[in-house]
Amino acid sequence: MAEQTRLALIGCGGNMTNAHLPRLLAQDEVSIVALVDPVTATTEALRERQPALAAAATFSDHEEMLDAVQPDGVVISSPHALHHPQIIAALRAGVHVLVEKPMVNTAEEAAEVIAARDETGKIVMVSYQRRFEPSVQQMKQIISTGGIGDVEFVTAQLYQAWYTNNLGRIQRTGASWRVQQQLSGGGQLNDSGSHLVDLVLHLVGLAPTRVTAAQQYFTLEVDVNSAIMAEFEGGAIATIAIGGNVHGGGMDITIAGSEGTLHYRTVGQGPRQPWVEWQRADHAEPLTLPTSPPATSPDHHFVDVIRGRTALAGATAEDGRRVVQLSAAVWRSAETGVPAVVGG
């Protein structure tokens, strides 16, 4: 590998420019060699705003870029329905992949991604950044080492003004791909809700077996609010509420086990400063949390993995498949009015 890790960015909208790009540019060993977006004005404007991108080539097509540039890795932040072909093309070109959530829109697409990854030996990582929060890593450590016993009950909520924000975007620009089924693959469940689903599955470490769900669409063709009851192997149950028409925002999770409970709260807390409390029946006061690991990001971890400094610890393609399998069961249950088997 060259001294610098050569990365290409696919999808140069707000999430790429405001989230991924600053984290990538903060790494001296990263070189952004290409920008891909179907809107040429988007890539040209980004290159003009960022002097560090002056030498980056611009493309409207990801396959043309892969043929011309042959980067070490790609970071994908495009509409959800485009993830699958872009991931497959990158892997077949011998390129590592960091992709925004959700990884893909169907379990069949996820299986194809996993097969292509295994055939090529390249990395596929899903950008669930909350996994890298010190508080989440503390919670995962506590649960994994038996700190709350066997997980029995989970309640998790996500609050966001997703509906009104997208309506406002439509009024300003005439469109929002996030509310178009063909491009998004689903509504708030598939968008910000994907983070909550992944976080619950990651923390509890149990396979979901069945869900019962109801959803509200309001004026859209995709879901806005989702009320979910999930059952897991071993008997644990969870309520998962994904609110896309809630003023104010945040994420709250409680995980109760046979010997203790973890509470995670972002509502009412400072930016990226969640409150976490660990309680056990055999202690009158909350317990001291494990030492907090240093904060990092999917983008930093992706580069570390490419450069061989660490093993992949972020969300894998299998994790991405688990999220889409649960989401698909939610949509089936909400449509039919009866419970749906996860992965069925």
pLDDT digits (tens, 9 = 90+) for 122-154: 999 999 999 999 999 999 999 999 999 999 999
Helix 80-92 to helix 107-120 angle, to the nearest 10 degrees? 20
CA distance 273 to 208: 29
Give the pLDDT confidence of 284-293 residue by residue, as tens digits.
Answer: 999 999 998 8
* Structure confidence at residue 1 as a pLDDT band (50, 70, 90): very low
Q: Which fold has domain 130-296+312-341?
A: Dihydrodipicolinate Reductase; domain 2 (3.30.360)
* Structure confidence at residue 2 as a pLDDT band (50, 70, 90): low
pLDDT at 295: 86
pLDDT at 39: 95
Considering only the C-alpha atoms of the chain, give the largest distance between any 2 of them, rounded to a whole number of Å.
63
In sequence order, the β-bridge partners of residue 277 are 263
> Residues near 8 by Cβ (< 8 Å), separated by ≥ 6?
32, 33, 34, 35, 36, 65, 66, 69, 71, 73, 74, 75, 95
CA distance 37 to 77: 10
* Structure confidence at residue 273 as a pLDDT band (50, 70, 90): confident
> Residues near 243 by Cβ (< 8 Å), separated by ≥ 6?
157, 158, 159, 160, 188, 225
Burial class (CB in 10 A: 0-12, 13-18, 19+), 289: middle
Q: In Å, how far are 50, 178, 264 from 18, measured between CA atoms?
A: 12, 17, 26
**CATH 3.30.360.10 occupies which residues in the chain?**
130-296+312-341
pLDDT at 293: 84
Which homologous superfamily does the CATH classification assign to the domain defined by 5-128? Answer: NAD(P)-binding Rossmann-like Domain (3.40.50.720)
Give the pLDDT confidence of 225-248 residue by residue, as tens digits.
Answer: 999 999 999 999 999 999 999 998
CB 254 within 8 A of CB 154: yes
Give the pLDDT confidence of 297-341 residue by residue, as tens digits.
Answer: 999 999 999 999 999 999 999 999 999 999 999 999 999 999 999
pTM: 0.96
Give the pLDDT confidence of 159-171 residue by residue, as tens digits.
Answer: 999 999 999 999 9
* Structure confidence at residue 14 as a pLDDT band (50, 70, 90): very high
Give the pLDDT confidence of 27-82 residue by residue, as tens digits.
Answer: 999 999 999 999 999 999 999 899 999 999 999 999 999 999 999 999 999 999 99
CA distance 275 to 293: 16
**CATH 3.40.50.720 occupies which residues in the chain?**
5-128
The pLDDT of residue 223 is above 50 = yes
Q: Mean pLDDT over residues 97-119, rounded?
A: 98
Token pair 């003023």 is at which residue?
247
* Structure confidence at residue 218 as a pLDDT band (50, 70, 90): very high
Question: Average pLDDT over the chain, rounded to whole?
Answer: 96
